Amino acid sequence: MYNYGLHQQINRAIQDAGMDISEKDNLFYTRFMANAAAIFDLYMQLYEHHPKAEKNFSQLVQTIIKGYKKRPEPLKQRDIVKSETTHWFLSNQITGMSLYVDRFCGDLKKLINKLDYFEKLGVNFLHLMPLFESPAGESDGGYAVSDFRKVDSRFGTLNDLKILQQEMQQRNMYLMLDIVLNHTSQRHEWAQNARQGEKKYQDYYYFYNDRSLPDQYDQTMPEIFPESAPGNFTYIEECKKWVMTVFHNYQWDLNYKNPQVLAEMVDTIFFYANLGVDVLRIDAPAFIWKQLGTTCQNLLQAHTLLRLIKQCVEVTAPGMALLGEAIVAPKEILNYFGTGNYTARECDFAYNATHMALQWDMLATGDTKVMLAAQHELLKKPFGTSWITYTRCHDDIGLGYDDYMIQQAGYNAYEHRKFLKDYYSGNHNDSPATGALFSSNPKTGDARISGSLASLCGLEKAMERNDNHLVDMSIQKIILMQAHSFFLGGLPMLFYGDEAGYTNDYSYLKEEGKSYDNRWMHRPVIDWEKNKKIDEPGTIENKVFSATQRLIAIRRKLDMVADYSNLVWMTPHNIHIAGYIRAIDDRKLFGIFNFKDKPSYLTWYAFKEHNLTAAKLFDHWENVIYDIGEDREYLVIKPYGFLLLEPV
Ligand code: GLC
């Protein structure tokens, strides 16, 4: 709704900044005016009753203007190009990889020399795990930031990052970085000042004089790392107060009820945007607003905050998409794409964590029913938003889908989850997997799973046993898992090492500051001698790498797999087979995946009932043409095999 006072306020600020709204800065001005009412409204929903609401709002306006003024010209041009390709990030041309720069190749300078490696694989999007300063020994893999603007010396300098980004841009590659919005390291300047008793900075966090409020909070707040960091508060001796620490005790939760914190963090977001970030991964957004008596997760205000951030980013850096790292229940995840008037106006991306976990479910049970029971929710994703699809990432695998989905498939939820945890953590006799339980909580019985893609698919055990058949079977499973997630819809995000079949790396057990956290077992240190084997036919590395490479290349040829919310699940005729259809215009793809260790059969009728009229199907994976048979005749899919079939 038009607001004259607001219009004038923004006009004045823009004039004071010496901007040229009739020409050079016209697009920015137009965007600002288009979003101004939303920004004001969202801001007031959060801060209307704060004594400094107005003052801080004008600071936010200044921050937006300053962010744009500092935006380098090439990025402004790139914003325009991206805007012209509506929803650039839905494309089937983008494939990502997530990696720790130091563990992958040493530092940012050396990463430039690895760009050819990514191009060879077909990866053109890099998620660099947190790069900003984070104290050794208490860094949570970089998610405890002590300086949001200084690249940690382990990786190089800010300038190295800029050079890398420029080189990537030259090569048409995309960059994703994190903003750790929910907390800072206890070594951050704000935290240090707070520790010394400065009230201003204590107000940046949740500080309490005694245990009375923390005790009340603890009654309803779950624990995130119950083994290594129980409870949600930490006592600070110097100031004799308790501070909220939902994750580790060295990660202090920022208090967004204080608008000053918002202003500081929006400024940091623009700082990252102006480094050329294409997708900003907002770490742990589910936690950014706390309210006594709640779980302090997924609160309405957290969404309001994200929407506010999104509307500001659209004004200053419209080419930067937002990924909300909300690893929460399926129903909750969907809300991060926005609802109501804000549908598709909150986060552009979310992790398809539910589907990721369900793939592991299917692999262990050979049964697709639980996965299918969850799709009803997942298909509600709004048009114009997308998933990050993946099989593994740096975090654990949580079995966070709803009990009713398991029950609908005919299983007992408790027993089913117990089976999966046993299967992947090595407590099940028949399991080929090598992994471990992460964050077991004896109070709730919850636990998540750690382990690399290859080890969880059985490669580690197969190699120990020197069993070639099992090695081949585990490779087949690795590729099946990747294929299923690559064509599903969304931006496929590989995790480094998985492209070359890395099994668990146990060196973390000897490292101080890591040994307590078994997620490090699936965060390998890359051995580039071993990686040379990707070019030696017959090696495991070569088999996994070349298959991954081929999947990426095939995906690029199939425009129907771009994420235009165009996925239909095939009617299940065989519980072992997951089948989906991706269609656009007159092109169609049937993705058929056998999660069973035996051959599985699918009648041709299963295709025909989905309006298949062509006489033949071409399998892009095996390069084979199938003649479509009678309704009662079968297509046979080999153990852990898959087909990517296009009618011809
Ligand atoms: C996110 C990160 C995880 C980290 C947590 C706390 O979930 O992915 O690695 O431990 O946030 O920052």
User: If you take atom 3 of ligand 1, which residue's CA is the nearest one?
Assistant: 395
CA of 283 to the centre of ligand 1 (A): 7
Confidence of residue 430 (pLDDT cuts 50, 70, 90): confident
- Residue 610 buriedness (CB in 10 A; 0-12 / 13-18 / 19+): middle
* Of 98, 132, 143, 146, best ligand 1 pocket probe by most atoms within 8 Å of the beta carbon: 143
Whether the pLDDT of residue 399 is over 90: the answer is yes
Is the minimum distance from the CB of 233 to ligand 1 under 6 angstroms?
Answer: no
> Integer distance in angstroms from the first to the last C-alpha of the chain?
52
CA of 419 to the centre of ligand 1 (A): 26
Average pLDDT, the chain: 96
- pLDDT reported for residue 538: 96
Contact by Cβ (8 Å): 253, 290: yes
Q: Which residues pair with 616 in a beta bridge?
A: 627
- Residue 327 buriedness (CB in 10 A; 0-12 / 13-18 / 19+): buried
* Of 140, 179, 522, best ligand 1 pocket probe by most atoms within 8 Å of the beta carbon: 140
Sign of CA dihedral 266, 271, 276, 281: negative
> What average pLDDT does this structure show over 155-176?
98
CA of 306 to the centre of ligand 1 (A): 18
> What average pLDDT does this structure show over 189-194?
98
CA of 396 to the centre of ligand 1 (A): 10
Is the minimum distance from the CB of 498 to ligand 1 under 6 angstroms?
Answer: no
Is the minimum distance from the CB of 395 to ligand 1 under 6 angstroms?
Answer: yes
DSSP for 394-430 reads SSPBP--S-HHHHHHTT--HHHHHHHHHHHHHT-STT
> What average pLDDT does this structure show over 495-520?
96
CA of 280 to the centre of ligand 1 (A): 15
The amino acid at residue 391 is T
Is the minimum distance from the CB of 222 to ligand 1 under 6 angstroms?
Answer: no
- pLDDT reported for residue 468: 97
Whole-model pTM: value is 0.97
CA of 144 to the centre of ligand 1 (A): 9
CA of 461 to the centre of ligand 1 (A): 29
Catalytic residues, which ones?
A: 283, 325
Contact by Cβ (8 Å): 569, 372: yes
Is the minimum distance from the CB of 141 to ligand 1 under 6 angstroms?
Answer: yes
- pLDDT reported for residue 2: 83
- pLDDT reported for residue 426: 86
**Domains along the chain with CATH numbers:** 91-176+300-558 (3.20.20.80), 561-647 (2.60.40.1180)
Confidence of residue 119 (pLDDT cuts 50, 70, 90): very high
- pLDDT reported for residue 443: 82
User: If you take atom 8 of ligand 1, which residue's CA is the nearest one?
Assistant: 395
User: If you take atom 11 of ligand 1, which residue's CA is the nearest one?
Assistant: 284
Q: Residue 327 CA: which ligand 1 atom is closest?
A: 7
- Picking from 71-75, 178-182, 511-515, 642-646, which range would have the lowest pLDDT averaged per residue? 511-515
Buried b / exposed e across 462-474, counting CB within 10 Å, b at 16+? bbeeeeeebbebb
CA of 140 to the centre of ligand 1 (A): 7
Q: Residue 247 CA: which ligand 1 atom is closest?
A: 6
> What average pLDDT does this structure show over 587-608?
97
CA distance 76 to 276: 10
Q: Residue 395 CA: which ligand 1 atom is closest?
A: 9
Q: Residue 141 CA: which ligand 1 atom is closest?
A: 9
Is the minimum distance from the CB of 411 to ligand 1 under 6 angstroms?
Answer: no
Beta strand segments in 442-503, E: 446-450, 491-495
User: If you take atom 12 of ligand 1, which residue's CA is the nearest one?
Assistant: 143
Tokens 């947190």 appear where?
Answer: 130
Q: What share of the chain is helix, strand, coil (3-state, %, to 5)?
A: 45, 20, 40
Whether the pLDDT of residue 156 is over 90: the answer is yes
Q: Residue 143 CA: which ligand 1 atom is closest?
A: 12
Is the minimum distance from the CB of 284 to ligand 1 under 6 angstroms?
Answer: yes
Q: Give the pair of three-digit tokens for residue 53.
A: 């609401």
Contact by Cβ (8 Å): 495, 98: yes
Contact by Cβ (8 Å): 280, 89: no
CA distance 8 to 551: 54
User: Which among 533, 554, 492 has a CA at the least distance from the CA of 124?
Assistant: 492
> What average pLDDT does this structure show over 551-558?
98
Confidence of residue 510 (pLDDT cuts 50, 70, 90): very high
CA distance 612 to 607: 6
- pLDDT reported for residue 429: 85
Whether the pLDDT of residue 496 is over 80: the answer is yes
Sign of CA dihedral 513, 518, 523, 529: positive
Is the minimum distance from the CB of 337 to ligand 1 under 6 angstroms?
Answer: no
Q: Give the pair of three-digit tokens for residue 170.
A: 């030259």
CA of 323 to the centre of ligand 1 (A): 14
Q: Go through the chain and tell me how many residues it has.
A: 648
Q: Residue 180 CA: which ligand 1 atom is closest?
A: 12
- pLDDT reported for residue 52: 92
CA of 143 to the centre of ligand 1 (A): 6
> What average pLDDT does this structure show over 334-351?
98
Q: Between helices 53-69 and 300-316, what is the axis angle to 10°?
A: 40
DSSP for 538-606 reads TSHHHHHHHHHHHHHHHHHH-GGGS-SS-EEEPPPSSTTEEEEEEEETTEEEEEEEE-SSS-EEEETHH
- pLDDT reported for residue 533: 98
Buried b / exposed e across 380-403, counting CB within 10 Å, b at 16+? ebbebbbbbbbbbbbbbbbbbbbe
- pLDDT reported for residue 548: 98
User: If you take atom 2 of ligand 1, which residue's CA is the nearest one?
Assistant: 283
What percentage of the chain has pLDDT greater than the value 70?
100
DSSP for 330-372 reads HHHHHHTT--GGGTTSS-SEEE-HHHHHHHHHHHHHS--HHHH
> What average pLDDT does this structure show over 559-571?
96
Q: What is the DSSP letter of 500?
A: G
User: If you take atom 4 of ligand 1, which residue's CA is the nearest one?
Assistant: 143
Q: Between helices 26-47 and 300-316, what is the axis angle to 10°?
A: 160
Q: Residue 144 CA: which ligand 1 atom is closest?
A: 12
User: If you take atom 7 of ligand 1, which residue's CA is the nearest one?
Assistant: 284
Is the minimum distance from the CB of 140 to ligand 1 under 6 angstroms?
Answer: yes
* Of 246, 287, 395, best ligand 1 pocket probe by most atoms within 8 Å of the beta carbon: 395
CA of 511 to the centre of ligand 1 (A): 19
User: Which among 493, 497, 462 has a CA at the least distance from the CA of 477?
Assistant: 462
Whether the pLDDT of residue 1 is over 80: the answer is no
Confidence of residue 442 (pLDDT cuts 50, 70, 90): confident
The 10s digit of each residue's pLDDT in 219-272 is: 999 999 988 889 999 999 999 999 999 999 999 999 999 999 999 999 999 999
Is the minimum distance from the CB of 438 to ligand 1 under 6 angstroms?
Answer: no
Whether the pLDDT of residue 71 is over 90: the answer is yes
* Of 283, 439, 523, best ligand 1 pocket probe by most atoms within 8 Å of the beta carbon: 283
CA distance 361 to 595: 10
- pLDDT reported for residue 648: 95
Is the minimum distance from the CB of 283 to ligand 1 under 6 angstroms?
Answer: yes
DSSP for 332-343 reads HHHHTT--GGGT
CA distance 64 to 179: 17
- pLDDT reported for residue 515: 94
- pLDDT reported for residue 78: 96
Is the minimum distance from the CB of 143 to ligand 1 under 6 angstroms?
Answer: yes
Strands 183-185 and 174-179 come out as unpaired
- pLDDT reported for residue 581: 98
